[in-house]
Structures are given as structure tokens and as C-alpha cells.
């Protein structure tokens, strides 16, 4: 396993409306290719900020981010991002939405269509290719977002609370699907969540964030065998430990 992603002393200070906001300070971590890493913490800890910096959408104000031995300067072709609010284009059909990232790279129409169809199938969206996003349920919309992210076969899949707005049942189903995709594609996943259970079900490793300014408070390895459930041995003990680290309050379930 090689080091795939490195954050070295990464900090971010937003200008802010009235005074500067220090969202992150001194973030140091590396992760190997193929890892499933969850970023866990209450809202306001800077998890989204870190993910957006790894996606190249925001610039760190200090430190550096290295992906596949190259210092990041803007969005990397190796990464793809999935947002909580889907980020689907309402005027494009499912098919066109899934094709967008490829279109941005200049992939030819015929190849776009074929690849999109393949990922539409993988995310169980077959039959919905000609629908518009507003005709789909929340879970299906998020599948479209995931399918779109996969089309460029990214080495890093960045997901920002992708299932945060879904009901428990849909959420559980999509978690399983993401694990299947991860096992099949062998991509590195950075997955932001504020749910301890979700982090424990998914991650090889959990980075626990603490707020003001956002820092990594703990780096927990999750060795539980897969497939996991919340009844897996060891799950409850880890959950209790994490609850303590996160500084449990009602926000965290």
C-alpha cells in the first residue's frame, strides 16, 4: 500500500463577514490507496472545509495537500465529489447528469453514453435515464450523484454527508451499495458524516474532529470484520469510545 493522500499542516481561515473564521488548524494525516476513511464530528468542525480542500474547491491558507505525489493546485482529475444536496442539474435528465463529468473532460458522446449506462446500471437506476431529477426520490437522486462521480473512475471518492438527508431505511441501503462499489472499484473514499453508527459501519479508519478551530482529535482504526451491523461484536464498545471523543450531545446519534 502506498501513501495516496497527504495533508501536511493544513489550515484554513475564511475571511468571514465581520471577522476571520478559523475553520481548521494543523491538519496532518496520510491515507493509503484504497482506504475507506470517515471524517466524524459535530457540525462546524470543518469537515466539509477539509473535503472541499481535498477536492480542490477551496485553497488551504496554510500547509499543503498532496494527492498521488502531486501537490494539489485546484481540482484533481483523480478525485470526484458527492454532495449532500446532490448537486444535480435540474434541467438535465439522469443520463445527461451522469454524463456531465465526462463531458467536462471532452469524452466523446458515444463513449459517454456507454459509460453512463454502465454506471446507471451499477447504481440501480436502469429505467430512469430519461427522468428529470425532480421526478426522483431523495435516495435515487443521491444514486445519480454517485453514478456521476464514478464515471471518471476516480482514485479518490469524496463524499460530504451524502446520506444525511435520507430516511434510515434508504440510508442503510445506500451504505451497503457504497461498500459494494468501494470493494469493486477499490477507490479511496473520504466520507464525511456526523453519525457514529454510519462511520463504524463504513470506515477502516475514523478521523474524529473537534471544533473551534477544527482539529483532528483522534485517529481510530476500525478492525471490525465486514459485513458489519450495529450488533457486530466490538461495535458497541467502539461506539461508546467515539461518543466520548466526539463530545456526545444530541446532535450526534
Ligand X SMILES: Nc1ncnc2c1ncn2[C@@H]1O[C@H](COP(=O)(O)OP(=O)(O)O)[C@@H](O)[C@H]1O
When the beta carbons of 48 and 123 are compared against Mg ion, the nearer one is: 48
Binding residue count for another protein, defined by CB under 8 A: 27
Establish if 87 lies at the interface with another protein (CB under 8 A).
Answer: yes
Residue 139: CB minimum distance to Mg ion, A = 20
Residue 243: CB minimum distance to another protein, A = 31
From another protein, Mg ion, ligand X, none, interface partner of 83 (C-beta below 5 to 8 A by class): another protein
From Mg ion, another protein, ligand X, none, interface partner of 80 (C-beta below 5 to 8 A by class): another protein
Residue 16: CB minimum distance to ligand X, A = 5
Establish if 101 lies at the interface with Mg ion (CB under 5 A).
Answer: no
Contact pick of 1, 104, 108, 110 for another protein (by CB under 8 A): 104
Contact pick of 57, 107, 217, 248 for another protein (by CB under 8 A): 57
For the beta carbon of residue 241, count every other beta carbon within 10 angstroms.
Answer: 14
Q: Which residues contact 217 (CB under 8 A, 6 or more apart)?
A: 41, 208, 209, 210, 245
When the beta carbons of 56 and 162 are compared against Mg ion, the nearer one is: 162
Contact pick of 28, 71, 85, 176 for another protein (by CB under 8 A): 85
When the beta carbons of 92 and 165 are compared against Mg ion, the nearer one is: 165
Amino acid at each position: 500500500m502506498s501513501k495516496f493522500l497527504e495533508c501536511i499542516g493544513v489550515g484554513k481561515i475564511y475571511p468571514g463577514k465581520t471577522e476571520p473564521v478559523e475553520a481548521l488548524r494543523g491538519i496532518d494525516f496520510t491515507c493509503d490507496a484504497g482506504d475507506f476513511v470517515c471524517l466524524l464530528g459535530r457540525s462546524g468542525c470543518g469537515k466539509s472545509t477539509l473535503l472541499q480542500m481535498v477536492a480542490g474547491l477551496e485553497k488551504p491558507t496554510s500547509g499543503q495537500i498532496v494527492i498521488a505525489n502531486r501537490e494539489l493546485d485546484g481540482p484533481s482529475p483523480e478525485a470526484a465529489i458527492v454532495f449532500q444536496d446532490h448537486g444535480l442539474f435540474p434541467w438535465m435528465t439522469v443520463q445527461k447528469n451522469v454524463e456531465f463529468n465526462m463531458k467536462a473532460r471532452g469524452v466523446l458522446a458515444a463513449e459517454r453514453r456507454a459509460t453512463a449506462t454502465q454506471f446507471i446500471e451499477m447504481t440501480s437506476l436502469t429505467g430512469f435515464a430519461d427522468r428529470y431529477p425532480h421526478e426522483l426520490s431523495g435516495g435515487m437522486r443521491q444514486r445519480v450523484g454517485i453514478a456521476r462521480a464514478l464515471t471518471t473512475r476516480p482514485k479518490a471518492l469524496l463524499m460530504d454527508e451524502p446520506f444525511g438527508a435520507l430516511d434510515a431505511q434508504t440510508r442503510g441501503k445506500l451504505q451497503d451499495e457504497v461498500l459494494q462499489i468501494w470493494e469493486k472499484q477499490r477507490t479511496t473514499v473520504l466520507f464525511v458524516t456526523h453519525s457514529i453508527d454510519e462511520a463504524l459501519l463504513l470506515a477502516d479508519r475514523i478521523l474524529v474532529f473537534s471544533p473551534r478551530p477544527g482539529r483532528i482529535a483522534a485517529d481510530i482504526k476500525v478492525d471490525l470484520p465486514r459485513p458489519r451491523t450495529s450488533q457486530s461484536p466490538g461495535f458497541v464498545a467502539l461506539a461508546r469510545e467515539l461518543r466520548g471523543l466526539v463530545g456526545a450531545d444530541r446532535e450526534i446519534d
